[in-house]
Amino acid sequence: MVHQYKNNGYNIVLDVNSGAIHIVDDLVYDVIPLFETCTREEIISRLGQNYPEDEIIEGYEEVKTLVEQQQLFTEDEYENYMEQFKERPTVVKALCLHIAHDCNLACRYCFAQEGEYHGRKALMSYEAGKAALDFLIAESGNRRNLEVDFFGGEPLLNFEVVKKLVAYGREQEKLHNKNFRFTLTTNGVLLNDEIMEFANREMANVVLSIDGRKEVNDRMRPFRKGAGSYDLIVPKFQKFAESRNQEKYYVRGTFTHNNLDFSEDVLHLADLGFQQISVEPVVAKPTESYALQEEDLPKLFEEYDKLAVEMIKRWKENRGFHFFHFMIDLEGGPCVAKRLSGCGSGTEYLAVTPWGDLYPCHQFVGNEEFLMGNVTEGIKSKELQKEFKHCNVYAKEKCRNCFAKFYCSGGCAANSWNFHGSITDSYDIGCELQKKRIECAIMIKAALAEETEGTC
């Protein structure tokens, strides 16, 4: 499968099965769609009006060389691998610990219903958290790197337990030859010097929630009484990011139908000095006023294009920043096994409620249909586990002919469930945005490669 597109003056050709990416001129861009179905002579005849014959032959030969080098029109060798893949032994390697089902903000788009996940307010006890870490160690097989995200609600509402659990994890990792990578997702309201110092010592990554411009952030991320959170959190986040040497963190925002010009929010965060930025599309019921609609897509595509061009400009001026969804590792990216299995929800990644129940991921928490077990008794619903284990890009009809399938790995199971009642479907607006982001990410690589041409 080959995907070709034009963006920002670049003709880009992606060979989906190998992952090879080529930047081509107009001639080769026109030869490629004809290559598999036409003879050389037919191609010369069809393109003869636009290009000289000797050039067409030259371009044709270069395409042929790419095919011979297995960098174009490569076969899908993975589907046969699927049967073996589906029977892989699974281990648990990552937990999303819902350390607090409560929040000090009342974000309007919160999938956790202001932290309570359609249930009751609760804080995780140290005992329940300890049992979760013990469960993770016991279920992790020979995986050494174990990830634990302190999530909520707002995890800093239960910071004392976070501290104790980190101490327990550090003690246990030595005994079991494991390496805990703790992360923290916070709205910043309770952030202080002590917490920053602790996080800088113990947290492999921190995710700091902020939506961008003051009016955008405050509209969707108010306190319970209605006041905005921007003025309180920005100085703290700036200090925190600096104290982490501008790495191993993300400021993370959500854009909605209310701020379709979201590139301005990303750039606002960059102008505040943040260098690690993630701003994502909201996922909401179509009936919500802030939900993204299909008719928003052209504007959103335009915004991603605009952002990509501005990012290139800033990199060239040595004031670049990273945008999570434009990051793409072309040479050292994930292996096929990872790309087929996706996020690992329900198998290697699980969410734990404050009272120790297990769900496939944080987005399923509160939906009793997806209750998988608990941290003391382990996974009880083997059927559910199997269903998630078998969920991969080949199990999804919509993904089969999609060029993005090895980048998004079939997309988010929770989004698929929320929109179609099945984890093997996909959230269509999300897919369109994902494809656009991949196109932009590759274009940025092309532009930056060109920028340094001849200098290395």
Partner 1 sequence: MPEESNGVGRSPDGLPEEPNGVGRSPDGFCHETEEQKGRISMKHVKTLNTKRLQNTVKRGGCGECQTSCQSACKTSCTVGNQSCENK
| By CB under 8 A, residue 212 contacts partner 1 | no
| By CB under 8 A, residue 362 contacts partner 1 | yes
- C-beta of 127 vs 284, nearer to partner 1: 284
| 270 within 8 A of 277, measured Cβ to Cβ | yes
| By CB under 8 A, residue 348 contacts partner 1 | yes
The encoded tokens of residue 270 equal: 């960059």
**Helix or strand run (H / E) with residue 160:** helix 159-176
226 phi and psi, to 5 degrees?
110, -20
Residue (of 221, 282, 279, 280) closest to 256 by Cα position = 282
**Candidate residues 104, 187, 217, 254; the one interacting with partner 1 per rule CB under 8 A:** 254
The encoded tokens of residue 180 equal: 């805990």
| By CB under 8 A, residue 280 contacts partner 1 | yes
Burial 278-296 (b: 16+ CB within 10 A, else e): bbebbbbeeeeebbbeeeb
The encoded tokens of residue 116 equal: 């309570």
| By CB under 8 A, residue 455 contacts partner 1 | yes
- Distance (Å) of CA 428 to CA 159, 180, 255, 412, 437: 38, 35, 17, 11, 14
| By CB under 8 A, residue 410 contacts partner 1 | yes
- C-beta of 96 vs 371, nearer to partner 1: 96
- Least Å distance, CB 175 to partner 1, is 20
- Distance (Å) of CA 185 to CA 211, 265, 366: 14, 20, 19
| By CB under 8 A, residue 360 contacts partner 1 | no
DSSP notation for 359-393? ESSGGGTT-GGG--EETTTEE--HHHHHHHHT-SG
**Helix or strand run (H / E) with residue 154:** none
| 126 within 8 A of 99, measured Cβ to Cβ | no
The encoded tokens of residue 260 equal: 């379709």
Give the binding range for partner 1 (CB under 8 A) out of 157-165, 190-198, 301-309, 360-368: 360-368
| By CB under 8 A, residue 199 contacts partner 1 | no
| By CB under 8 A, residue 18 contacts partner 1 | yes
- C-beta of 208 vs 226, nearer to partner 1: 208
54 to 113, contacts with partner 1 by CB under 8 A? 58-59, 62-63, 65-66, 69-71, 74, 77-78, 81, 91, 93-94, 96, 111
**Sheet containing 349-352: which strands, arranged edge to edge?**
322-323, 276-281, 249-255, 203-209, 179-186, 145-151, 94-98, 349-352, 357-359, 373-374, 378-379
**Candidate residues 3, 4, 8, 21; the one interacting with partner 1 per rule CB under 8 A:** 21
298 to 327, contacts with partner 1 by CB under 8 A? 315, 318, 320, 322, 324-325, 327
- Least Å distance, CB 107 to partner 1, is 12
**Candidate residues 83, 289, 335, 369; the one interacting with partner 1 per rule CB under 8 A:** 335
| By CB under 8 A, residue 45 contacts partner 1 | no
**Candidate residues 262, 274, 304, 349; the one interacting with partner 1 per rule CB under 8 A:** 349
| By CB under 8 A, residue 382 contacts partner 1 | no
Binding marks (x or -) toward partner 1, 132..171, rule CB under 8 A?
A: -----------xxx-x-x----------------------
